[in-house]
Structure 1
């Protein structure tokens, strides 16, 4: 399987998604449209992964709109798609949801709670990294998957092929360090009141990688 990953900034990498792809013997191609302007071709995509980024899905940037066109076309072809943070917001908007400023800015470690049993093997509560100031609506064709204490809409699933998460399960220790090292100013104003030292001191929960594998297995197998 050819997995095309769209990365929107140098410091938000695929993390354990790459481990999953390699463990399942898939081929990975990573695109950087913010720098080079290129997106995957529909006919060359067996699975799409859309990463986070500092931009807004509401920005008037040509490749952001083209990315949503790609999502719609792949969904029509029943191609599995996973989106994290900005990627989840792109999925929401592609299927009719609105993206707005979040009533609270969530940056740092905080729990999320499972709201659906459609995917087997996910614990009822997990601790995830949050790094966002906007939030999405759950599209009409989607089911709520996760909520946090402060925001109801934290994740959704569409059928058996599409999952969008506002937060990050994919991050590993080096990924967290890279994000905090380069984007630490974004922490200011977070309701979590965590410093960059607080965030870096927290060990990445081992179960997050397991859950990432579970989600990717679910959408790739379509059941």
Structure 2
């Protein structure tokens, strides 16, 4: 049995891998978590069987050296056809690597709001899901990608490229402890959100069980022939 190595890029202490780690453990995969914003280290392309790029408060438009190095790694893995998944900033990094622009979204979305499936590319996804949003920038859909999800206020909420790349502007991966960690440490960011939810509103909303199930489906889709 070949054990996949899942390399995870985490960009802030309060946005961890959540159900991504649960998926990896369920399959018996090895999980390595890197913190490039703090330590500056990234995995090597040749030691990566899947790359997970998590969210964070930075922008792909920032000029920090480690952000640029991340995109070099992403391009290497694209060339090698290694599967990757990006959430929020992570999806933006993938999109920017592929030549798309990252810009201010029509609305700052922070809190729980529905997203709507726009594609049949990935089988058995619900038509509507309740997702956690934590962003005010958005990506342009990369050339050759298919629009996967939209929200009421931001059209470009997700994309898929073949069986190898998925990027989501929102978050399916947080489990209840992760949501609490995000809110108690980053609650000032909630102000100005078009969703008009308080920290208490976000905390009292149960994490939908469907979100972990869908996260597993997305990762299974990416790793189907690994």
Interval of TM-score (by shorter of Structure 1 and Structure 2): over 0.9
| Residue 148 to residue 222, structure 1, CA distance change in 2 (3 Å) | farther
| Separation in 1, partners of 2:74, 2:58 | 18
Q: TM-score, normalised by structure 1?
A: 0.99
- The answer to whether the 8 A contact 1:7-1:33 is kept is yes
Q: Does the alignment pair 1:63 with 2:50?
A: no
Deviation at 1:76, TM superposition (A): 0.9
1:26 match: 29
Q: CA separation in 2, counterparts of 1:121 and 1:19?
A: 20
1:220 paired with 2:223, answer yes
Structure 2 length-normalised TM: 0.97
4+ runs of 1 displaced by more than 2 Å?
A: none
- 1:181 lines up with 2:184 in the alignment: yes
Q: What secondary structure, in the 3-state scheme, does the structure 1 residue paired with 2:107 have?
A: strand
Q: What residue is the counterpart of 1:106 in the other structure?
A: 109
1:94 to 85, 94, 97: 97
Say whether the 8 Å CA contact 1:161–1:222 is kept in structure 2: no
> Please, which of 10, 17, 21 is the counterpart of residue 13 of structure 2?
10
How many residues are matched? 223
- The aligned counterpart of 2:51 is 48
2:165 counterpart (145, 148, 162): 162
How many Å separate the matches in 2 of 1:161 and 1:172? 25
- Paired with 1:178 and 1:212, the residues of 2 have a C-alpha distance of 20
Aligned equivalent of 2:77, options 63, 74, 77? 74
* Match of residue 116 from structure 1: 119
Structure 2 unpaired stretches of 5+: none
Partner SS state of residue 51, structure 2? strand
- The RMSD of aligned alpha carbons is 0.9
**Matched-pair contact (CA < 8 Å) for 1:47–1:81:** yes
Which of 132, 137, 141 aligns to 1:138? It is 141
Following superposition, the deviation at residue 222 of structure 1 comes to 4.6
Q: Secondary structure at the match of 1:221?
A: coil
